[in-house]
């Protein structure tokens, strides 16, 4: 099994340019000091200094891979990322630990649910959201080879998914269908895959699109889903502001494509802290709850393809939309 650490060690062994920095956060890289020696630099709990030093190392031709918890990396050191790495367009690789729901019971201080929003605001920044350990391992060599700065929303949880070969800006379609288009990236991909499988068993053709990188994003995959499916749903452990939902909305507006889009994410609030399984259940992102929410989103909006403006989880269906339970999609 290729772990994040073993892949990074192998890449560093093959490429002298790679240096590894951490702000005293070693959970995923415990054995690297022994393997790469002086190219492992622990600066202590100094996120700003770490990012500034990474910029200096990159100026000298290095590819620094820096580690800190996602919220402190992207927010405490934000201006260093934006000003030194961003303006400099330097190939610094920013690895944010326990993003989104992975902060579990830490509470709102540790909840990186705005990290995609702030990283997207930096011109030239690439954003990689691995769905599981396998995708993280497959994507790591590719994002390290990119000359651009990259934010990696670290996720090394195992899953049973089989992934298509990884490429920057290329989505993979994990299930086919033309009824409901489910757009997702990162931690929630496996639960979304289970949910889509359930929907298929119930006769709803759910297309599951794992976007994998949010910058560059696969606009073609989003537009194809929007043109083929009657309803789109975005699924993210992130605020609705600035994340996947916002990104999809921007793409659809830019290309003048109209389709109901139901956002499943965090609407202007932090999530309830707890063990991961409990968080997912409470917030509605366990496979079971996601299945129900996707089905509801489809039923409430499938008749609105050329209808009026809004699409939401909570709205009551207008008169011309099918009543709940009236499985009109099977007859059209």
Partner 1 sequence: MTAFGALEAQARRVRAHAIRMATNGGCFLGASLSCTDLLVYLYDRVLRMAPDRVADPGRDYLLLSKGHDVPALYGTLAERGYFPTARLANHLAIDDHLYWHPNRAIPGVEFHSGSLGHLLSVGMGIAVDARLRGGPSRVFVVVGDGELDEGSMWEAALVAGAKRLDNLVVIVDRNGFQANLATESLIPLEPLADKLRAFGFAVADVDGHSFPALAGAFATLPHAAGKPTAVIARTVRNKGLPSIEDRAERWFVDLQPDEVRMLLDELEGNAAQPLRSAPLVVR
Site for partner 1, rule CB under 8 A? 19, 38-39, 41, 43-44, 46, 48-62, 64, 79-80, 83-84, 87-88
Tell me the closest approach of the beta carbon of residue 13 to partner 1, in angstroms: 16
- The dihedral region occupied by 212, where left means phi > 0, alpha psi between -120 and 50, and beta the remainder, is left
Q: Considering beta carbons, is residue 6 or 83 the nearer one to partner 1?
A: 83
- 279 neighbors 104 (Cβ within 8 angstroms): yes
Angle formed by the axes of helices 4-14 and 133-145, nearest 10°: 20
Q: Considering beta carbons, is residue 3 or 48 the nearer one to partner 1?
A: 48
Tell me the closest approach of the beta carbon of residue 17 to partner 1, in angstroms: 10
CA distance 160 to 282: 23
Q: Considering beta carbons, is residue 21 or 152 the nearer one to partner 1?
A: 21
Q: Considering beta carbons, is residue 54 or 297 the nearer one to partner 1?
A: 54
Tell me the closest approach of the beta carbon of residue 18 to partner 1, in angstroms: 12
Q: What is the 3-state secondary structure (H, E, C) of the chain?
A: CCCHHHHHHHHHHHCCCEEEEECCCCCCCCCHHHHHHHHEEECCCCHHHHHHHHHHHHHCCCEEEEEEEHHHHHHHCHHHHHHHHHHHCCCCEEEEECCHHHHHHHCHHHCCCCHHHHHHCCCCCEEECCCCHHHHHHHHHHHHHCCCCEEEECCCCCCCCCCCCCCCCCCEEEECCCCEEEEECHHHHHHHHHHHHHHHHCCCCEEEEECCEEECCCHHHHHHHHHHCCEEEEEEEEECCCCHHHHHHHHHHHCCCCCCEEEEEECCCCCCCCCHHHHHHHHCCCHHHHHHHHHHHHHHHHHHCCCCCCCCCCCCCCCCCCCCCCCHHHCC
Tell me the closest approach of the beta carbon of residue 206 to partner 1, in angstroms: 47
Q: Considering beta carbons, is residue 84 or 237 the nearer one to partner 1?
A: 84
Q: Considering beta carbons, is residue 50 or 279 the nearer one to partner 1?
A: 50
Q: Considering beta carbons, is residue 84 or 194 the nearer one to partner 1?
A: 84
Tell me the closest approach of the beta carbon of residue 62 to partner 1, in angstroms: 6
Tell me the closest approach of the beta carbon of residue 306 to partner 1, in angstroms: 48
Tell me the closest approach of the beta carbon of residue 82 to partner 1, in angstroms: 9
Tell me the closest approach of the beta carbon of residue 267 to partner 1, in angstroms: 33
CA distance 210 to 58: 31
Tokens for 281, please give them: 């259940």
Q: Considering beta carbons, is residue 60 or 320 the nearer one to partner 1?
A: 60
- 153 neighbors 130 (Cβ within 8 angstroms): yes
Q: Considering beta carbons, is residue 45 or 292 the nearer one to partner 1?
A: 45
Tell me the closest approach of the beta carbon of residue 186 to partner 1, in angstroms: 29
């Amino acid at each position: 099994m290729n772990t994040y650490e073993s892949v990074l060690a192998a890449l560093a062994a093959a490429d002298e340019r790679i240096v590894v920095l951490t702000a005293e956060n070693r959970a995923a890289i415990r054995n690297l000091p022994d393997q790469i020696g002086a190219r492992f630099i622990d600066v202590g709990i100094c996120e700003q200094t770490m990012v500034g030093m990474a910029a200096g190392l990159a100026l000298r031709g290095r590819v620094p891979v820096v580690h800190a918890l996602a919220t402190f990396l992207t927010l405490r050191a934000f201006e260093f990322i934006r000003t030194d790495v961003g303006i400099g367009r330097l190939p610094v690789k920013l690895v944010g630990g326990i993003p989104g729901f992975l902060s579990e019971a830490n509470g709102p201080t540790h909840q990186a649910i705005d990290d995609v929003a702030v990283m997207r605001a930096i011109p030239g920044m690439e954003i990689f959201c691995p769905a599981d350990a396998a995708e993280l391992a497959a994507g790591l060599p590719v994002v390290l080879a990119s000359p651009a700065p990259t934010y990696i929303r670290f996720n090394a949880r195992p899953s049973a998914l089989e992934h298509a070969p990884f490429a920057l800006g290329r989505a993979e379609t994990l299930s086919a269908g033309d009824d409901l288009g489910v757009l997702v990236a990162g931690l929630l991909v496996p639960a979304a895959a289970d949910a889509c499988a359930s929907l298929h068993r119930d006769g709803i053709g759910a297309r599951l699109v794992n976007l994998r990188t949010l910058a560059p994003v696969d606009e073609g995959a989003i537009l194809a889903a929007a043109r083929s499916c009657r309803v789109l749903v975005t699924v993210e452990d992130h605020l609705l502001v600035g994340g996947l939902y916002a990104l999809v909305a921007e793409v659809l507006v830019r290309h003048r494509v109209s389709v109901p889009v139901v956002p499943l994410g965090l609407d202007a609030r932090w999530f309830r802290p707890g063990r991961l399984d409990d968080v997912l259940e409470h917030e509605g992102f366990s496979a079971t709850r996601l299945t129900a929410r996707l089905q509801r989103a489809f039923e409430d909006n499938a008749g609105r393809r050329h209808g009026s403006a809004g699409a939401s989880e909570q709205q009551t269906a207008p008169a011309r939309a099918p009543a709940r339970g009236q499985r009109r999609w099977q007859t059209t």
